[in-house]
Structure 1
Amino acid sequence: MLGDKLKNYAHLHLLVFIAGFTAILGKLITIKAIPLVWFRMLIAGLLMFGFIKIYKIKLKIPLKTFIKFGIAGIVVALHWITFFGAIDVSNVSITLVMFSTGAFFASFIEPIVYRRKIIWYEIIFGIIVIIGVSIIINTEFQYINGIILGVISAFLSSLFAVINGKFVENHNASTISFYEFICGVVFISIYLAFAADGFLQEDFFFLSTNDWIYISILASVCTAYAFIGSVHIMRYISPYTVVLTYNLEIVYGIVLAIILFPIDEKMSPGFYYGSVLVVATVVANGILKNKRKRKSAKGIEVS
């Protein structure tokens, strides 16, 4: 029993490590963010389709539902484009820290979607996060474009997570992801069909061997497998533990970046002060939310 528990925790940390490694691949892949996301979503969508067929998961959905999944697919496509775009114009460290602010966007998006009141400490934490980001901006202003793209990516990620949270209440997670990936591909394809740096380029599909390898890893291990694995792990580990552990994605990613790209990832002390402030606030937010949920659950049990 203990062995199974340790195995599941090890699997969880592997998934978090893979999440952190996604940013490293974004740095290693030489093509621009938009075609990169197009290849990622296309390959991941095909892999997800194979998974659905093997396990005979239902794909048929109403048109109205398909449209909703399609909109979500566009949101996740834009999230990934801004995420990898942030890496292109700044570095992995900046992008990951900005991405971590997504938890606080979710704190303000959730009340709108789920029609609940904003919790008082979420406002305070939001202010602290803004202070942390301000410190980073003041000390690393040369990366302002990456900071802006990273924050936009975090917002889109939070919006996508909240939307998906509503979807999974009534639909299979694999079906949702498949349609989101495919709709994202179609959305980006419309742009690439007319863009000078899109399908009109003769060498669009002629990538270097390294790029094909990295994109394949990104689409298979860091997207399709990571998604299926995260769904699987939720059966054995509490959602709170999973969400809290995923905050280590930032730590894993930055440590890997410093090891692999020591020159590009060398930052000022102010960056790390601001980063610690942001990450610590995200973790504190997760802990308080878990306590609040436990109290609510006890209240329901008593009644």
Structure 2
Amino acid sequence: MPNDKLKDYLHLHLLVFIAGFTAVLGAVISIDAIPLVWYRMLMALCIMGGYIVLCKINIKVDKKTLLKLSVAGIIIALHWITFFKSIKIANISIALAAFSTGAFFASFIEPIVYKRKISPYEVLFGGVIILGVVIITQSEFKYINGLLIGILSAVFSSVFAVLNGKFLEKHSASVISFYEFVSGVLFISIFLMFSKDGFSKSFFNISFSDIFWLFILASVCTAYAFIASVHVMKTITPYTVVLTYNLEPVYGILLAIILFPEKETMGNNFYFGTLIVIVTVLLNGILKNIKNFKKGTPLQR
């Protein structure tokens, strides 16, 4: 039905908007990046666990798969920690501009995992993205530390996305997410136990406002987004989903300017550099999937 298709497209854009809103929550929540991610993953784990119980989903996996999912869980935890840290020491716009470079890193990581050659145009696009980042850096050099941490976050995100693409060939998103959240919470917990401040009294002394926004982050932006994105891909091609998700930095930066105009309004060169990065990422996705379509292979997720 055409109306159902339209609803799914609107749903997809809602999910991308939610992804962009995640960065806003990172700025609103007052606690530091590590405890923020610990609470996020713990809450999301509880929600996902409840969903699995209610839907009676079989979560049994073999030891080899469990190990792989555990590694992926650590990687997504590191991605979120560095992403929110970038927001804390710079701002939302810088963090999202850095995050948009993720597709560039994925274009080099993916061939390693899938054992294929790197395409010449991907190298060219990589150079253009680096140019975009240089323009951003020259425009907002005072945020260089936040930008570098944000780029590191993009690397973690790219590795995670490529690994999850392999996992989704055999397992459901619910099962994958459940074990990744368990792994992420355990990883951060072990780190905190050996760190100086760790699980101190202040760690658990958080405001009602932070608890509320953490719950929104864990439920709407994490558990719901993970499940809903898989549902959307049942009727919309992964190609369209991926291209649409590349609008996440656009939505996030626009939200940041509207909500925090004094802190988030940047120089013209910042937006020019960010535009170069985002347009290049979109072109990369289009060319990659046109190439795969001609070969008769599935569209890239």
TM-score w.r.t. the length of structure 1 is 0.96
Whole-Å separation in 2 of the counterparts to 1:238 and 1:298: 13
Whole-Å separation in 1 of the counterparts to 2:88 and 2:181: 23
Deviation, structure 1 residue 270: 1.0
Whole-Å separation in 2 of the counterparts to 1:47 and 1:131: 42
Whole-Å separation in 2 of the counterparts to 1:70 and 1:262: 40
Percent of aligned positions that are identical: 61
Counterpart in the other structure of 2:139: 139
Counterpart in the other structure of 2:235: 236
Counterparts of 1:199-210 in structure 2, within 5 Å, are: 199=199, 201-210=200-209
Counterpart in the other structure of 1:96: 96
Counterparts of 1:54-133 in structure 2, within 5 Å, are: 54-133=54-133
Whole-Å separation in 1 of the counterparts to 2:237 and 2:72: 26
Alignment pair present for 1:282 and 2:281: yes
Whole-Å separation in 1 of the counterparts to 2:289 and 2:63: 37
Whole-Å separation in 2 of the counterparts to 1:172 and 1:16: 21
Q: Relative to structure 1, is the Cα distance of residues 218 and 298 closer, same or farther in structure 2, using a 3 angstrom cutoff?
A: closer
Counterpart in the other structure of 1:7: 7
Q: Relative to structure 1, is the Cα distance of residues 85 and 298 closer, same or farther in structure 2, using a 3 angstrom cutoff?
A: closer
Whole-Å separation in 2 of the counterparts to 1:135 and 1:43: 39
Whole-Å separation in 1 of the counterparts to 2:16 and 2:84: 18
Check the 8 A contact 2:173/2:226 in 1, yes or no. no
Counterpart in the other structure of 1:29: 29
3-state SS of the aligned residue for 1:263? helix
- 1:219-270 CA distance string (max 9 Å, x none): 0000000010000000011111111111111111001100111111021111
Whole-Å separation in 2 of the counterparts to 1:131 and 1:141: 15
3-state SS of the aligned residue for 1:59? coil
- Further displaced range: 262-271 or 32-41: 262-271
- 1:92-137 CA distance string (max 9 Å, x none): 0011011010001010001100000001100000000000001111
Whole-Å separation in 2 of the counterparts to 1:155 and 1:67: 21
Q: Relative to structure 1, is the Cα distance of residues 31 and 151 closer, same or farther in structure 2, using a 3 angstrom cutoff?
A: same
Q: Relative to structure 1, is the Cα distance of residues 298 and 196 closer, same or farther in structure 2, using a 3 angstrom cutoff?
A: closer
Counterpart in the other structure of 1:293: 292
Whole-Å separation in 2 of the counterparts to 1:81 and 1:242: 25
Check the 8 A contact 2:113/2:162 in 1, yes or no. yes
- 1:13-34 CA distance string (max 9 Å, x none): 1101000000000000000000
Q: Which AA in structure 1 matches 2:256? A: A
Deviation, structure 1 residue 55: 1.6
Deviation, structure 1 residue 57: 1.4
Where does the alignment leave 5 or more consecutive residues of structure 1 unmatched? Answer: none
Alignment pair present for 1:170 and 2:170: yes
Whole-Å separation in 2 of the counterparts to 1:279 and 1:298: 25
Whole-Å separation in 2 of the counterparts to 1:279 and 1:26: 22
Deviation, structure 1 residue 46: 1.1
- 1:157-201 CA distance string (max 9 Å, x none): 0000111111111222211110000110000001111323320x2
Alignment pair present for 1:153 and 2:149: no
3-state SS of the aligned residue for 1:250? helix
Check the 8 A contact 1:257/1:265 in 2, yes or no. yes
- 1:27-68 CA distance string (max 9 Å, x none): 000000000000000111111111111222111212222111
Deviation, structure 1 residue 298: 7.9
Check the 8 A contact 1:91/1:264 in 2, yes or no. yes
Where does the alignment leave 5 or more consecutive residues of structure 2 unmatched? Answer: none
- Further displaced range: 222-231 or 241-250: 241-250
Alignment pair present for 1:216 and 2:230: no
Q: How large is the Cα RMSD of the aligned pairs?
A: 1.2
- Further displaced range: 185-194 or 28-37: 185-194
Check the 8 A contact 1:35/1:198 in 2, yes or no. no
3-state SS of the aligned residue for 1:204? helix
Equivalent pairs, count: 298
Counterpart in the other structure of 1:254: 253
Q: Relative to structure 1, is the Cα distance of residues 19 and 298 closer, same or farther in structure 2, using a 3 angstrom cutoff?
A: closer
Check the 8 A contact 2:13/2:244 in 1, yes or no. yes
Counterpart in the other structure of 2:49: 49
Whole-Å separation in 2 of the counterparts to 1:118 and 1:102: 16
Q: Which AA in structure 1 matches 2:2? A: L
TM-score w.r.t. the length of structure 2 is 0.97
